[in-house]
Amino acid sequence: MTNPLERLVEELRRLPGVGAKSARRLAYHLIEAEQEDVQRLVETIVAAKEATHRCSQCFNLSAQDPCEFCASSKRDKSMICVVETSRDVIAIERSGDYKGLYHVLEGALSPIDGVGVEDIRLKELMMRLQDDTVQEVIIATDPDVEGEATALYIARLLQPTGIKVTRIARGIPVGGDIEYADEVTLSGAVLHRQEMR
Ligand code: ZN
């Protein structure tokens, strides 16, 4: 059996963006830290995990259901911005101009990875468009192969409904990630969105 410190390194390495070196640095930092600091970190992680759930309407991560966007009377309910992850919601919020609702797909279509139509929240999106409240669906999936395929699929799916479907404008580099786009770029991309046909 590996020793506890090595096991901690292995666990940390499983986190996104943490390579072997960073994992080791973090592990040693934690072992050398004060007991109470480590305790607080562990408790914070567990508390955040327990308190955060997906909104039953838009699937955004939130401590409340419906989430703060779905529950707000200040949001424009005639617009739904479709994104891949909850992190993208935060990114678009930070860009500041968008005041509509969201829909988190929890992924993007990717036949290679076995992610099909049933695996992302498309059925739920269609359900939300049943009444006449929503006038425009803004597709803000990533500008990579999966994100573009997903955008096209949604545009085709919505064509018979007559709901206006727009795609956020270029400016986010091809292959890029909405989550990491800077605020000015993202704000412009939402503002200059184009209708999909
Ligand atoms: Zn919500």
Query: Which CATH number covers residue 141?
Result: 3.40.1360.10
Q: Does any domain span residue 195? A: no
CA of 124 to the centre of ligand 1 (A): 12
CATH number assigned to the domain comprising residue 19: 1.10.8.420
Write out pLDDT tens, residues 53-78.
999 999 999 999 999 999 999 999 99
Residues surrounding ion ligand 1 at CB below 5 Å: 55, 57-58, 60, 66-67, 70
CA of 181 to the centre of ligand 1 (A): 23
> Phi, psi at residue 143, to the nearest 5°?
-80, 45
- What's the rounded Cα separation, in Å, for the pair 114 and 123? 18
3-state secondary structure (DSSP) of residue 99: coil
Q: Does any domain span residue 185? A: no
* Residue 110, domain extent: 74-167
69 CB-side CA count, 13 A? 27
Q: Does any domain span residue 130? A: yes
* Angle of CA points 45, 49, 50, to nearest 5°: 120
pLDDT(151) > 70 = yes
Rounded to an integer, the average pLDDT of 153-167 is: 94
Q: Assess whether 105 and 154 both reside in one domain.
A: yes
Q: Assess whether 163 and 78 both reside in one domain.
A: yes
Q: Assess whether 109 and 154 both reside in one domain.
A: yes
> Phi, psi at residue 73, to the nearest 5°?
-85, -10
Of the pLDDT bands very low, low, confident and very high (cuts 50, 70, 90), residue 174 is low
The answer to whether 121 and 106 have CB atoms below 8 angstroms apart is: yes
- The residue among 147 and 189 whose pLDDT is bigger is 147
Q: Assess whether 81 and 154 both reside in one domain.
A: yes
> Phi, psi at residue 76, to the nearest 5°?
-80, 110
